[in-house]
Structure 1
Amino acid sequence: MFASGLCFVGVTGIVRYLGTELPAVQSAFLRFAWGVVFLLPALIGVLRSGMPGLHLRLHLGRGVVHVAAVVCWFYAMARIPVAEVTAIGYLNPVLLTLGTVVFFGERLSLRRVLAIGVALTGALIVLRPGLREVTDGHIAQIFAAVFFAGSYLFAKRLSGIASAGQIVAMLSLVVTLALAPLAAWVWVPVSAEQIAWLAVVAACATGGHYCMSRAFAAAPIAVSQPVVFLQLIWAALLGWVAFGEAVDVFVLLGGAVIVGSVSYITWAEARQRRRVVMPEVL
């Protein structure tokens, strides 16, 4: 999980470095196009094997939502500090929890309600509306968190009927195809250096997801989740060293509040599951 955090901070740092010279849609398209290249062997196998209609509809639905998420994220990343993008992004698990209640009928316990309330308080600490300007970059990142949560809901549904390789490969393909006409509409000349950096972005993102999967396989989420907070530390340091962004104590505090609430609910529910499956002593 430590390595995963470094990979994702690398993604945000490079996109921040590329700035606003390329439209957000075009940057996102080039990043996912490189992802298709990296995943081409797996993608060929998926397409050859085919899939039922339900699978295809879910893949397409997830792709559309994910397109909105990545465009908002690329837009925000080029306009607000790296640490703020990272901190607001921590809302994803909270929104995902709400989504599972609405769409999958999961029970919203008092523990979950309190954790959600604490996490939203953390988001307000980061944004501080009324005390400073909330820019279009902040709003874009909030929408990105919402859309990413929607994408993960599709992934949760797909995880029960499709393999992990199929889910990842189809996401890259569908998002690339969906972004292509949008990117063509706003296309500007792109340099070899920009293309190369976006290839590194795709490689870092792929490495981050791989490391995260290994972490989840090696230990319970309750163990690995607190390590996610280190990603905010690296993001703040990167913004300070590479881009001269001031280290905002309120961003660190708000991010800690969000991660703390998510970590608590993860730990508490994992403990509850262990109690349920524990055999009764006779």
Structure 2
Amino acid sequence: MPASLDRPSSPLLPVLSVIAGIAAFSVMDAAMKAAALGVGVASALLLRNLFATAITFPLWLVAGRPVPTPAVAKLHFQRSAITAIMAALFFHGLVRIPMAEGMAISFFAPIIALYLAALMLGETIRPRAVLAALLGLAGMLVIGADRFGAGEYGPDAIEGTAAIVLSAVFYALNLVLQRRQAMLAGPVEIALFQNLNVALIFLVLSPLYWTMPDAQTLGWIAAGAVLATAALLFLSWGYARAEAQVLVPVEYTGFLWAALMGWLIFGEQPGKGVVAGAALIVLGCWIGTRKTQIDI
């Protein structure tokens, strides 16, 4: 069932919906980091997506059991496969570096998306895209310098940083598909089939990694499933009703949530270099993705 493209009663509603989705995803990141520290990334992601599938199935029934066409089902699976790789890399990195730092590095994804659009869609790389990439790289170097200066950049931190940078590449692919998917399917359909597909992908590989969680870890995973489902619904609703150019800058509010959750749950305090590096990356993303003026 295609998402309705009717203009919402308030032009700010899609923006608020995406803000809520980013907040839910950021809090979910903290829950999943806690779970991954207990049972490993893959086991935590498998259980989260199984729980999330169970949560979204009744919503799918209430929504009238929308079934995708073969073409849309293929798109659902493509994005799910990208999401599975992206999530595994992101949480592999996040258990090795602080949340605010990981979120800041992941902001490089919209800049990567500019170059993927040029590669996949034949778009011209404009000078501002080059400037955006240089600012983003400068931001990551500032973050790295902050770590080196504090003497904290050991092998684990290097591995974690590399994993999140690679995750950002897959997140950029995810951004390219997200808008198209939201135009072809409703939020509940997207949430159900993405959770189900990702769960199946991890389930096939589960003999290689499975670890049984304790009660506390199950609680973190269940919270992550609820938050991830809510985030998917909010983001799918918002992206179906406003241009991506308007909504992409909202992604940067995730840094504030990540810093808050890292401090509250893990006692992490982002240094000045992380904040400065995040600001450079955000500036690069803003320069690279903005159009002439967009009224919302």
> How big is the shift at 1:175?
0.9
Q: In structure 2, what is the Cα distance between the partners aligned to 1:79 and 1:233?
A: 19
SS in 1 for 2:203: helix
CA contact (8 A) 2:46 2:203 kept: yes
Q: In structure 1, what is the Cα distance between the partners aligned to 2:261 and 2:59?
A: 34
1:148 maps to a residue whose letter is Y
Gaps of 5+ in 1: 275-282
Q: In structure 1, what is the Cα distance between the partners aligned to 2:215 and 2:276?
A: 39
1:85 maps to a residue whose letter is G
Q: In structure 2, what is the Cα distance between the partners aligned to 1:213 and 1:56?
A: 16
Match for residue 266 of structure 1?
Answer: 289
Matched, 1:188 2:211: yes
Match for residue 41 of structure 2?
Answer: 24
Change (3 A) 1:138 1:39: same
Match for residue 279 of structure 1?
Answer: none
**Larger deviation: 32-41 or 228-237?**
228-237
> How big is the shift at 1:28?
0.9
Change (3 A) 1:18 1:175: closer
Match for residue 142 of structure 2?
Answer: 125
CA contact (8 A) 2:187 2:233 kept: no
RMSD in angstroms over aligned alpha carbons?
A: 3.0
Q: How does 1:25-40 map to 2 (within 5 A)?
A: 25-40=42-57
2:266 maps to a residue whose letter is F
> How big is the shift at 1:117?
2.1
Change (3 A) 1:213 1:153: closer
CA contact (8 A) 2:104 2:278 kept: yes
> How big is the shift at 1:115?
1.7
Q: How does 1:217-256 map to 2 (within 5 A)?
A: 225-256=248-279
Matched, 1:167 2:219: no
CA contact (8 A) 1:27 1:74 kept: no
Q: Percent identity?
A: 25
Partner residue of 2:86 out of 69, 77, 88: 69
Q: In structure 1, what is the Cα distance between the partners aligned to 2:119 and 2:132?
A: 17
Change (3 A) 1:30 1:233: same
Change (3 A) 1:90 1:188: same
Q: Deviations over 1:62-87 (max 9, x none)?
A: 22222111111121122210111110
1:117 maps to a residue whose letter is L
**Larger deviation: 228-237 or 20-29?**
228-237
1:72 maps to a residue whose letter is L
Q: In structure 2, what is the Cα distance between the partners aligned to 1:18 and 1:211?
A: 24
> How big is the shift at 1:42?
5.4
CA contact (8 A) 2:252 2:282 kept: yes
**Larger deviation: 181-190 or 136-145?**
181-190
SS in 2 for 1:21: helix
Change (3 A) 1:11 1:160: closer
Change (3 A) 1:212 1:55: closer
CA contact (8 A) 1:86 1:232 kept: yes
CA contact (8 A) 2:56 2:188 kept: no
SS in 2 for 1:49: coil
2:94 maps to a residue whose letter is M
> How big is the shift at 1:30?
1.1
> How big is the shift at 1:254?
1.0
Change (3 A) 1:160 1:235: closer
**Larger deviation: 55-64 or 195-204?**
55-64
Q: Deviations over 1:114-163 (max 9, x none)?
A: 22221222122223397644521111111111122223333345455545
Q: In structure 1, what is the Cα distance between the partners aligned to 2:137 and 2:26?
A: 23
Q: In structure 2, what is the Cα distance between the partners aligned to 1:224 and 1:112?
A: 18
Q: How does 1:195-234 map to 2 (within 5 A)?
A: 195-212=218-235, 225-234=248-257
Q: In structure 1, what is the Cα distance between the partners aligned to 2:20 and 2:257?
A: 11
CA contact (8 A) 1:95 1:149 kept: yes
